[in-house]
Amino acid sequence: MRAVVQRVSEAYVTVDGKETGRIERGLCVLLGVERGDTEADARYMAGKIAKLRIFEDENEKMNLSVQSVGGKVLCVSQFTLLGDARGQNRPGFTQAEAPEAANALYEWTCDEIRKLGVPVENGVFRTHMMVHLVNDGPVTILLDSKKQF
């Protein structure tokens, strides 16, 4: 499972011009499910997202998590994070999980983040979404449940 985590002052997602999720201070997470991912990968990712210390404390050090600042998460499924363009210019997506299994793990991850006390807003799986955000910092962190990077 892979994620792009961005610290935001605000973010929202629309589908066909209709807003499906909006947050203010928090994290915008683009989440890709890889073929073979399990609930263990989802649990790892949920814990990392909820506890990642990328918000500034009173000394302007990144020591606080979205949990500790009372922020929210906007989580958007994004299979293109599993795209492989190493051998060609057109990425291949064979490492992305099949849609039904991917959606189940995406939803499970969002539920796990909620269980950790962080409100989660969502995009709509398998739709063309427009994601709008204001990256605060900018701060962007890449996460991989297999710890490849």
Q: Which among 80, 93, 127, 140 is annotated as catalytic? A: 80
**79 a catalytic residue:** yes
Q: Which among 6, 14, 55, 79 is annotated as catalytic? A: 79
Classify 23 as helix, strand or coil: strand
Q: Which among 6, 14, 55, 78 is annotated as catalytic? A: 78
**78 a catalytic residue:** yes
Question: How distant is the alpha carbon of residue 10 from its chain centre?
Answer: 15
Classify 73 as helix, strand or coil: strand
Residues 2 and 62: their CA atoms lie apart, in Å, by 22
**55 a catalytic residue:** no
Residues 59 and 44: their CA atoms lie apart, in Å, by 29
Residues 17 and 15: their CA atoms lie apart, in Å, by 5
Q: Which residues are catalytic?
A: 78-80
